[in-house]
């Protein structure tokens, strides 16, 4: 059996998105900026995509949608726009979370180097920031609050509407990285008072390398990519219409089927959580209820997440671990340690991110194999032996 449970890393292109993409590659090859018929036909496809996307997040006007190369670029543009655009007005303070994606954290670091001051709020143990903390962090010179809609590692969903209301009341710009949320949970930029928002096609069954930067009209934007006058002068470069149209189709598909998908995927998530909960000295990370429908992040004491991941891969299960050895460093996830998960527990964590087509059989298969590999690696682990013999203290309750 093969089970793809790494949808938070990337999703597979949906059939709908692929069909749209192929159709566009065949039929719409003009440059949307050209005045001839070929160009104008492509421009129409682009306008249609912008409308579909605006509609999915309830943006007031399709011209508030800008196309980018992905979520990272949208995050960069949001932060740079707010910071540099408001610096002249004496606003040099920014607020974010310590558990944001690196596209936010690294951009914040860059802005610190330019003289901005950044407050990194620490969420509660369940991964959710206290609205009071956000309110108290806002100062006279705060330019922007950037708080992710949902966390990519442990799935916690932030109180976005409440934070939006506070920012509106205090006259502070509010950006949210909604890359994990878009097409998975409801988003309404007007009702939630979201000024800027980031999305990425490949996190909801669209293509990779394409994303959306939503910015409410009236916000001064700074370019990340300079050049031609595409995207109303705010993002240069010839537009990739097939990828954009496919992304719009994928987003629409996700939004049209949202209720059904949320009910099914969260039931499968809870089934997996339930089945993992009888592994001793293990814990669920992130809020059990206010979390993404497909996210299961679990820590198992005394084992390495990486080893478990590779063992599960041998059983055809694709998931991800909370220790980032393969990617950047040997440090455990900044997200898990950022919400107070002990380092030992963070090292032994796995993230399963379930897709819409996940079945009960697949969930049961994952659970069975996780039980097996955790047992296997614990039996081989000197660290686990120390825990068993009392030489070391457990950090997770039995």
Ligand X SMILES: *Cc1c(COP(=O)(O)O)cnc(C)c1O
Contact positions toward ligand X, by CB under 6 A? Answer: 70-72, 75, 101, 103, 148, 152, 177, 179-180, 200, 203, 211
Smallest distance, ligand X to C-beta of residue 183, A: 13
Task: Tell me whether residue 76 or residue 282 sits nearer to ligand X (CB atom).
Answer: 76
Can you name the residues that pair with 65 across neighbouring β-strands?
214
The catalytic site residues sit at: 325
Residue 182 CB, shortest distance to ligand X, in Å, is 10
Cα torsion 144, 145, 150, 153: sign: positive
Nearer to ligand X, 5 or 148 (CB): 148
Task: For ligand X, give the closer residue by CB, 70 or 355.
Answer: 70
CB of 169 vs ligand X, minimal distance in Å? 26
Q: Smallest distance from the beta carbon of 276 to ligand X, in angstroms? A: 23
Q: Are strands 211-215 and 196-200 parallel, antiparallel or unpaired?
A: antiparallel
C-alpha 148/C-alpha 104 separation (Å) is 9
Q: Which is nearer to ligand X, 177 or 362 (CB)?
A: 177
For ligand X, give the closer residue by CB, 202 or 264: 202
Smallest gap, in angstroms, from Cβ of residue 39 to ligand X? Answer: 27
236 sits in which H/E element:
none
Cβ–Cβ < 8 Å for 70, 206: no
Q: Residue 233: which region, alpha, beta or left (left: phi > 0; alpha: psi -120 to 50)?
A: left
Q: How many separate helices (H) and strands (E) can be counted in the chain?
A: 13, 13
Instruction: Give the E-state strand segments of the chain in sequence order.
Output: 3-4, 65-68, 93-97, 117-121, 142-146, 173-177, 196-200, 211-215, 282-284, 295-300, 317-318, 320-321, 349-353
């Amino acid at each position: 059996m093969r089970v793809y449970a790494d949808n938070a890393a990337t999703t597979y292109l949906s059939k709908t998105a692929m069909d749209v993409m192929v159709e566009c590659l065949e039929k719409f090859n003009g440059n949307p900026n050209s005045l001839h018929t070929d160009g104008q036909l492509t421009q129409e496809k682009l306008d249609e995509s912008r409308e579909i996307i605006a509609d999915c997040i309830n943006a007031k006007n399709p011209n508030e949608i800008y196309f980018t190369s992905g979520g990272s670029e949208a995050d960069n543009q949001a932060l740079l726009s707010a910071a540099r655009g408001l610096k002249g007005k004496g606003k040099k303070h920014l607020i974010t979370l310590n558990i944001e994606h690196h596209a936010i954290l690294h951009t914040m670091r860059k802005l610190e180097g330019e003289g901005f001051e950044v407050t990194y709020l620490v969420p509660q143990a369940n991964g959710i920031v206290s609205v009071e903390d956000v309110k108290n962090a806002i100062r006279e010179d705060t330019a922007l609050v950037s708080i992710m809609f949902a966390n990519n590692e442990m799935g916690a969903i932030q109180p976005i509407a409440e934070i939006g209301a506070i920012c509106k009341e205090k006259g502070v710009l509010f950006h949210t990285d909604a890359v994990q949320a878009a097409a998975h949970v409801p988003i309404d930029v007007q009702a939630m008072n979201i000024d800027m928002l980031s999305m990425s096609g490949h996190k909801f069954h669209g293509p990779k390398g394409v994303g959306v930067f939503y910015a409410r009209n009236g916000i001064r934007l700074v370019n990340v990519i300079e050049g031609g006058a595409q995207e109303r002068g705010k993002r240069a470069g010839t537009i990739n219409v097939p990828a954009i149209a496919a992304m719009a189709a994928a987003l629409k598909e996700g939004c049209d089927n949202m209720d059904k998908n949320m009910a099914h995927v969260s039931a499968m998530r809870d089934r997996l959580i339930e089945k993992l909960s009888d592994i001793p000295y293990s814990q669920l990370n992130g809020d059990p209820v206010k979390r993404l429908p497909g996210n299961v992040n679990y820590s198992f004491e005394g084992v390495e997440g990486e080893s478990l991941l590779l063992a599960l891969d041998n059983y055809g299960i694709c998931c991800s671990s909370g220790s980032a050895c393969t990617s950047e460093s040997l440090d455990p996830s900044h997200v898990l340690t950022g919400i107070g998960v002990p380092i030992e527990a963070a090292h032994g964590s796995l993230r399963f991110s379930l897709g819409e087509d996940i079945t009960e059989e697949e969930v049961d298969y994952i659970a069975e194999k996780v039980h097996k590999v955790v047992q296997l690696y614990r039996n081989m682990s000197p660290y686990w032996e120390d825990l068993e013999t009392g030489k070391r203290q457990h950090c997770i309750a039995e």
